Copies of this chain bind each other. A is one copy, B any other.
Amino acid sequence: MMMDAAFSADQLALAANVRDVLRAHCPPAALRSERRPGWKQLAGLGFFQVLSPEEDGGLGLRLIDVVPALEETGRACLPGPVVETAVVGAYLLGGAEPVTVAVLPPGQAYAADADLADLVVVVRDGAARSFPAASVRLSPRPGPDPCRPLFEVTTETPGEPLGADVGAALRAGAVATAAQLVGVARHLLSTTVAYAGARTQFGAPIGSFQAVKHQLADAAVAVEFAAPLVWRAAVTADKALAGADRDASAAKAAAGEAATLAARTALQVHGAIGYTDELDLRFWLARAWSLSSAYGTTAHHRERLRAAIVDGSPRRYP
């Protein structure tokens, strides 16, 4: 709503480019038929190298610069390991070569989208190792999201240790995922508003009933106040400020809850049809659920927040 005021014209322009590309090349129909719609075109924009240093051929931008663009990837429900390739990979690998990356973060059992990866990064016991895709065995595991399949990764080689700051990379992954969740939630809201304006029951559009209006308003409030926590977390991550982990957890937890609430509201307003393959809605519902447990579940981040704020020293003011 007013949140655009938080971003610079350049940041918003990048997002607008991503949005245009995804409208053209990742329409909802593509979610049913393609595994990686729009990726070639995004690569053409330099999107997957956006955080890599300019000397490596990247755009050399900061995380905050891509928050609105990442939101657009959530809004479009873009499949594939976007955050892993454009964000976590850039932190861990430097980004000299454009490779597609899948990540198995600590606390998670499976790597999402590993079927598309050139490199699989496994983080265990605080250390990251990378494995060429050809060297690992992938076994599919059930998950909620048809466009974000999960794989158990079995490694048979020692892999290559990565020297970069693993904590910073995972933190950036959480913040980037939070930005996507905000985009997912915004799409869920707008598509539900459109449906509620068109669908009639009891002789009136269902969007004219107070119960529907008020549910949607509550979801809008949740999204509106999750968004600033996301940009705040991106800023503190970029500056490696004290509190960067805390802010990342605040962003991920709030965005996950906002998206889950938006999903619940969308399904409730749509009724049974929202539950089915007849509509595209299910892709965004699934994304809200699957990203909510990526890079730490909401509960995990709430636990970290409690430790940082109540047991830590939470001074706010500069």
Contacts and interface: CB of A to CB of B under 8 A. Distances in A.
A214 interface: yes
A211 B211 CA distance: 6
A209 interface: yes
A154 interface: no
Interface of chain A, helix or strand or loop or mixed? helix
Contacts of A211: 210-211, 214
Interface in A211-244: 211, 214
Contacts of A209: 210
Interface residues of A, number: 4
A191 to B, nearest CB: 23
Nearest to A210: B210
Contacts of A214: 211
A214 B210 CA distance: 10
A209 B211 CA distance: 9
A210 B211 CA distance: 6
A210 to B, nearest CB: 4
Nearest to A211: B210
Interface string A189-222: 0000000000000000000011100100000000
Interface in A118-143: none
A209 B214 CA distance: 12
Shortest beta-carbon contacts, A-B, top 5: A210-B210, A210-B211, A211-B214, A209-B210, A211-B211
5 contacts: A209-B210, A210-B210, A210-B211, A211-B211, A211-B214
